[in-house]
Amino acid sequence: MFIHFLTTLILNLIIMILIILISKKTIIDFQKSTPFECGFNPMTYKRLPFSIHFFLIAVIFLIFDIEIIIIIPMIMTMKLSMLIYWLLTLIMFIFILILGLYHEWHNGMLDWTN
């Protein structure tokens, strides 16, 4: 019984040592150990300026996606609800979207050339 325990222990230790030796990286490359960021040079550590215009366009795009996600189920529920309430809800929702679009347009958020 003791011999079986000892052989199992020795085999486990040998396998663990082999795994450590095989999996250890011998060459550590600085470029490969830095995180990859799309569009930025990973060689420098200084902060690069980030375009606020790109951020605003991304936020507007996300809002547009959420609007689509809300409108599509409204089309499917048209048969299940009373037409007058469904139409009133749809008109109010589209009116709020148009007000938001006017606000974005009035503040110049939709100017792509700046």
Instruction: Specify if 114 maps to a domain.
Output: no
Confidence (pLDDT) at 6: 92
Domain span at 79: 2-106
Residue with the bigger pLDDT between 11 and 31: it is 11
Could you read off the pLDDT of 36-53 as tens digits, one per residue? 666 555 566 556 667 777
* Residue 10 confidence class, pLDDT cut points 50, 70, 90: very high
Average the pLDDT over 105-114 and give the result. 74
Instruction: Specify if 32 maps to a domain.
Output: yes
- This prediction's pTM: 0.47
Instruction: Specify if 27 maps to a domain.
Output: yes
Give the span between the Cα atoms of 80 and 105, in whole angstroms: 36
Report the domain count for the chain. Answer: 1
pLDDT higher than threshold 60 for residue 94: yes
Helices (H) and strands (E) in the chain, counts: 4, 0
Instruction: Specify if 23 maps to a domain.
Output: yes
Confidence (pLDDT) at 35: 63
Q: Is the dihedral of CA 83, 86, 91, 92 positive or negative?
A: positive
Instruction: Go through 82-97 and write b for each residue having 16 or more CB atoms within 10 A of its CB, e for each that does not.
Output: eeeebeeeeeeeeeee
Give the span between the Cα atoms of 83 and 18, in whole angstroms: 72
Instruction: Specify if 111 maps to a domain.
Output: no
Residue with the bigger pLDDT between 98 and 46: it is 98
Instruction: Specify if 46 maps to a domain.
Output: yes
Could you read off the pLDDT of 49-88 as tens digits, one per residue? 677 777 777 888 888 888 888 888 888 888 888 889 889 9
Q: Is 105 helix (H, G, I), strand (E, B) or coil?
A: helix
Other beta carbons within 10 angstroms of residue 109's beta carbon come to 16
Instruction: Specify if 113 maps to a domain.
Output: no
- Return the C-alpha torsion angle 90, 93, 96, 98, nearest 10: -50
Confidence (pLDDT) at 46: 59
